[in-house]
Amino acid sequence: MAERAAGARALAVDLLTRVERDRAYASLLLDATLARRALDAREAALLTELTYGVLRWRATLDWLLETVGRRRIADLPVRLRQILRVGAYQLRFLDRVPAYAAVSEAVAAAKGPGGHEGWASLANALLRRLAERRESLPVPEMADATERLALAFSHPPWLVRRWLARFGEAEATALLQADQSPAPTVLLVNRLRADAPSVAARLAADGVATTASPLLPEALRVREGASVRHHSLVAEGKVQVMDEGAALAVALLDPQPGETVLDACAGGGNKAARMTAVMGNVGRIVALDVSERARRRLGEACTRLGATIVEPKAGDAREASRHVPGGADRVLVDAPCTGLGTLRRHPEIRWRVPEADLARLAALQRDLLRGAAEAVRPGGCLVYAVCSTEPEEGEAVGAAFAGAARAFQEEVPVGFPAGSCTRLPEGGFRTFPHREGCDGFYFIRWRRGLR
């Protein structure tokens, strides 16, 4: 077991180095590694825990290391930073890992490829000191709430400051706490190939416990600790892994069999595939994206899920009408955004997104929405969605569009949200991890007038 654990620690250092150095996404790297490597369940669980744990708690770990070492972790080489953080995470958060194992494996990694004796000496000194003092190093009580919560919950101060001003300390703390917990894995049943009871029964037979989603009738939440991303149900296209927040955007769009639908920013195709199931695979879905890689993933997802009515196309939502001559009955704009509503799934985002990105992305979102709206037929529907907690990307974009596009009026379909999300007084809906238990989303639906 010790050798297997050492392998998981070394892999975690490799993945974390790529995440920080290359701006890669941890979820994609982790999925690829787990698919490629013959890791047993314990190794896979430890690798997952170390990778996401270090990303979630990076600021707190760096504070601990700097407190015992009196030097800035940010000034160290990127790989050495990950070696130290992986060691510190085990000492601080994993009681089941002996301190000597965490220290010795960090020292071995520091001597390994790309390292040297100087790294090993520093790792040994810092982590031994931390092991000796870890019980006497609580996060300090600071008078300034922003500094205190940013350190206690390992979030950038600018984001904590915004949430304190917007929600107050109690709710901001609840949101920060939610971000520090692993996101539940949610399976959406592909009604083209299966139904929820049969899927739940098959998972139960394989030892995977699920609960019905409180937000969507065809969604199952997998109990914590179970891994299903490589389950045969996924490979067979009977389920798709998809957060309920993203699926709610499709529910708000409510595409009908036989319609022409435009997915204006399709990405990897999860929502287009979900639309196909909702439409009974009857109609037409034009899925636009500027990224060739995204379109390739979209095609693979549609093949796996049996979605034959999806047409992946290279295109920009700002010129959407070119790709659907005659217009579309329904248009979804799930716009590129900061992703700040997905910090449970993608904790690295908090360390990449500066506050200035909000204004930059909001300008792009307004342009994408305005362009996609031109593809909506008279009498058709338009849905705007972003996986961001911030109003600049949500409410403000919706308000700007509503003020300029007089032909469109907000519409709330009958039965939505049915308790699934929060209705906003200014229009649209929101979900938050600490309220609804899904990713943080904003979405709104309009209907275009007949004239």
Backbone angles phi, psi at 224, to 5 degrees: -55, 140
Catalytic residue among 337, 381, 387, 438: 387
Residue 188: which of 139, 259, 239, 138 has the closest Cα? 239
Three-state SS string over 38-82 comes to: CCCHHHHHHHHHHHHHHHHCHHHHHHHHHHHHCCCHHHCCHHHHH
Contacts of 241 (CB under 8 A, 6+ apart): 185, 186, 187, 188, 228, 229, 234
Nearest-CA neighbor of 3 among 49, 42, 51, 54? 42
**245, 257 contact by CB (below 8 A):** no
Backbone angles phi, psi at 285, to 5 degrees: -125, 115
Assign 374 to helix, strand or coil.
coil
CA distances from 247 to 269, 324, 332, 418 (A): 12, 24, 12, 14
Amino acid at 388: S
Question: For residues 342 and 418, what is the distance between their CA atoms, to the nearest angstrom?
Answer: 23
419 dihedral zone (left: phi>0; alpha: psi -120 to 50; beta): left
Burial of 35 (0-12, 13-18, 19+ CB in 10 A): exposed
List the structure tokens of 136.
Answer: 């006497």
Active-site annotation holds for 302: no
Q: Which amino acid is at 212?
A: A
Spell out the residues 6+ positions from residue 146 whose beta carbon is closer than 8 angstroms to its own.
157, 160, 161, 164
- Residue 347, preceding peptide bond in cis (omega within 30° of 0): no
Q: Which residues are catalytic?
A: 387
